[in-house]
Amino acid sequence: MTEYLSVTTLTKYIKYKFDQDPHLQSVLIKGELSNFKKHSSGHLYFNVKDKESVISAMMFKGNASKLGFEPKEGDEVLLEARVSVYERRGNYQIYVNKMQLDGIGNLYQKLEELKKKLTKEGYFDSSVKKPISKFPKRIAVLTASTGAAIRDIHSTINSRYPLVEQIHISTLVQGTQAKQDIIEKIEHADTLDVDTIIVGRGGGSIEDLWNFNEEEVVKAIYSCNTPIISAVGHETDFTLSDFVADVRAATPTQAAVIATPDQYELMQQIKQYQFSLTRFIKQYIEQQKKQLNHLNSYYKFKQPSLLYDQQIQKRDDLEKQLKQLMSTYLEKHTQNLKLLKQHFNLKTLNNNISQDKMHVSQYRERMTQAITNELSKLQTDLKNKIENLNNLSPTNTMLRGYAIVNKDDKVVTSTHDITENDTITLTMKDGNVDATVKKVRCNDE
């Protein structure tokens, strides 16, 4: 009997064949992402297609977390994957290990990575942006010497604000040498004492505009002390120079508009200010006239004496009060002076001085006598102490027939310190005697 295979058995066999084929374990595929979905688990599900075919694909969360960009529908990508069979649906698919953008996509990926890095380092912070001068005297324009960009900027500035001086600095805006040239021209323009710098060029592909995405150019713009307007490409083009510049203009023409005021708008403003000022002056004069007429009709101005009659009377009252106060003040101090004279009577003062002199003389005599008695007492005490010291001195002792015994330059005070045959020295009142000990006798023996 013929044996029929189940669908599961056949599918497992085909999967086994795929998994065992070494050529299918790591394949490199180029294609476009379609039907892209990111599951809540973090896994990515999508199709990879070209003009003729479509392959189902998935990427596990662990590999997806290592991507340096956010995949999206329509991205051209380069894949490294493993080919296998999904048993449940019975179709083959690829399991992607690595993914990167293809061609231009790599540039966009590099641009996003550099943008994130510079944003984190603070190069794009709005807090460091410098204001653009409203009424500039000099503007430096950094762009190619030929082309629509320089023509648009010059013509726009001339029509809007012809008073400003334009300094055109021919700059390379494309090619391998452009990056360094842009940096040097920005640094040079920063030394020219201009109010604003415009850095710009016409539109182009991302490759054409790439010099304005270079990290060194971004840092040169950031370090510039003069406000910079970036006008690179068309309205839909964005470069890192736009983010770091103080102002981003969608086009070179708009950069010229941002950098200068419009002379026609200024004239309209001046006329408006003139009209407002004239109206204000007229209103002010009219108001002052009304106030003057009001003052002119005031009754006191018709009889000027009314203005000072009250003041004259007030002055007289104040003068009277002042005289009274002065009289009272003088009388009071005169009385005080009399009291002081009585208190400080000259005769009484002389008597007091004489008595004080007498007391001082008495105190001096007492002090002198006390000091004399104290000195006499101290001299007597000193004499007694000197006599006592003299009686107790070794010299006086030796005068009475005593001698000092020395052994080895030390005074001997006991027989226990001497033995037979020791050499000793006897110090007497009139000299020394060297002797040898024949016998030692102690009192306790």
Shared-domain flag, residues 90 and 19 = yes
**Quick one: pLDDT at residue 208?**
76
Rounded to an integer, what is the distance from CA 25 to the centroid of its chain? 57
This model's pTM is above 0.85: no
Residue appearing with tokens 């995405």:
213
Q: Tell me, yes or no, whether 389 lies in a domain.
A: no
Residue (of 294, 243, 12, 276) closest to 128 by Cα position = 243
Query: Which H or E run contains 357?
Result: helix 346-392
**Burial tier of 105 (Cβ tally within 10 Å: 0-12, 13-18, 19+):** middle
Q: Tell me, yes or no, whether 192 lies in a domain.
A: yes
Specify the amino acid at residue 217. V
Shared-domain flag, residues 232 and 278 = no
Shared-domain flag, residues 116 and 82 = no
Question: How many structural domains is the chain composed of?
Answer: 4
**Quick one: pLDDT at residue 1?**
46
Shared-domain flag, residues 179 and 254 = yes
pLDDT in tens, the chain (445 residues): 468 888 888 888 888 888 888 888 999 998 888 899 999 999 999 999 988 899 999 999 999 988 877 888 888 888 999 999 988 888 899 999 998 877 655 667 777 888 888 888 888 898 889 999 999 999 999 988 887 888 889 999 999 999 999 999 998 888 888 889 999 999 999 999 999 999 988 777 777 778 888 889 989 999 999 999 988 877 666 788 888 899 998 888 899 999 999 999 899 999 999 999 999 999 999 999 988 888 777 776 667 766 677 788 888 888 889 999 999 999 999 888 888 777 766 677 778 888 888 988 899 999 999 999 999 999 999 888 888 887 777 777 767 767 888 888 888 888 887 888 888 888 887 888 888 888 888 876 5
C-alpha torsion 339→344→345→347, nearest 10: 170
Shared-domain flag, residues 76 and 146 = no
Is residue 258 within 8 A of residue 249, CB to CB? The reply is: yes
Is residue 94 within 8 A of residue 48, CB to CB? The reply is: yes
Q: Tell me, yes or no, whether 311 lies in a domain.
A: no
| C-alpha to C-alpha distance for 245 and 229, rounded to whole angstroms | 6
Range of 284's domain?
A: 268-301
Question: What HEC string does 71-95 produce?
Answer: CCCCCEEEEEEEEEEECCCCEEEEE
Is residue 255 within 8 A of residue 229, CB to CB? The reply is: yes
Check residue 317 and report its DSSP letter: H
**Quick one: pLDDT at residue 101?**
78
Check residue 445 and report its DSSP letter: -
Residue (of 91, 44, 48, 83) closest to 66 by Cα position = 44
Is residue 86 within 8 A of residue 48, CB to CB? The reply is: no
Q: Tell me, yes or no, whether 277 lies in a domain.
A: yes
| C-alpha to C-alpha distance for 247 and 243, rounded to whole angstroms | 8
Which CATH number belongs to the domain containing residue 157 in this structure?
Answer: 3.40.50.10550
Shared-domain flag, residues 77 and 189 = no
Shared-domain flag, residues 425 and 439 = yes
